[in-house]
Amino acid sequence: MNQTLGRINGHLIGLAMKEMVRRAIGVIDAQRFFFEAKEKVADHQPTKQDFVTSADLAAQKVYVKLIRESFPDYGIVAEEDHLSVDCKMPDSVLMFTVDPLDGTKAFIRGQSHGVGTMISLVQDGQVVAAYIGDVMTREIYGYRPGSEKVHRITSNGRAARLKIDETRSLADQYVLLRDDPDLYSEQAQKLMRRKKEGGLVKGMEVTGGSIGIHMARLWKGEVGMTIFRPGPNTPWDLMPILGISEMLGIRFYPISAFVVNAYGRNAYVVSPDIQSVDEEVVVIHISRFDEVADALGR
């Protein structure tokens, strides 16, 4: 029997994506203490040690099944098994990026933080929706197509809008790093120093694990800045954090941009390909560009 069920809209897509994240969180959490792990070759860094677990594979299976059932003509780029499915839409290129378990090493270590799962929807070079789930807290961060707001959604469905406080100086906030501070350039280390020691910020923190959960701390205002080291980045890592950050007015600036006042310059583009940057990337709200530029002595 043929049925006409009407047109799909951004609200329905957002609901479907959030449900995918919730189900992925469930299957990851179910294997939290009992899983299989094996070494694999990283797509973006073949010489770097990487792992895949049974939880990664189970979560990706959830995403792929729901995407193919709900959006059969949309493309998919997912981390495990080099999954790439072309878009079949006639008039627009729509592609889901999927990172089924973001922070696999943290998961293997049994951390109680830094384990996430991420999905984004890219349409014609724009991230139109993105959701990131925190496996440990079961919170979800993200936005749907057509929305101008990013929400933090609790495990019981309560939602709070995320918004950056532009009145706070970086001198009153911390910088969040993903690597040992000694591995950064002299310019970057200048930004990491405390204000009272001639630097820019109140202090620093170093954390690993999920890049999505790492970035959520910036979106929530727990920290005021993060700095990424040079290197390659995959689309399933980048697209969700680029989309949410863009909505909140947060930009990814190459560190050289501050010297030449390149306000509009961005280190990354929306793409299904792996991207490599050969200098550090400073991630801040646009209102704090001048603070960083002045600290670097432009």
**pLDDT tens digits, one per residue of 135-147:** 999 999 999 999 9
Least confident of 3-7, 55-59, 196-200, 260-264: 3-7
d(CA 257, CA 293): 8
Phi, psi of 107 (to 5 degrees): -65, -45
Region 86-104 average pLDDT: 94
Region 158-166 average pLDDT: 96
Region 16-39 average pLDDT: 95
Residue 175 lies in a domain: yes
Confidence of residue 82 (pLDDT cuts 50, 70, 90): confident
Q: Is the dihedral of CA 130, 262, 294, 286 positive or negative?
A: negative
Has this prediction a pTM greater than 0.85? yes
Region 178-204 average pLDDT: 92
- Residue 47, pLDDT > 60, answer no
**Long-range contacts formed by 259-264: CB under 8 A, 24+ apart:** 259/293, 259/296, 259/298, 260/298, 261/293, 261/298, 263/289
- Tell me the CATH number at 156: 3.30.540.10
Q: Is the dihedral of CA 105, 152, 25, 276 positive or negative?
A: negative
Burial code of 108-128, b = ≥16 C-beta within 10 A, e = fewer? Answer: eeebebbbbbbbbbbbeeebb
Q: Please say which residue of 109, 137, 162 terminates a domain.
A: 162
Three-state DSSP class for 83? coil
d(CA 133, CA 118): 6
Does one domain contain both 50 and 157? yes
Query: Count of domains in the chain?
Result: 2
Q: What is the pLDDT of residue 2?
A: 56
Q: Please say which residue of 146, 162, 178 terminates a domain.
A: 162
Does one domain contain both 106 and 135? yes
Does one domain contain both 78 and 217? no
Q: Please say which residue of 141, 162, 183 terminates a domain.
A: 162
Residue 1 lies in a domain: no
Average pLDDT, the chain: 93
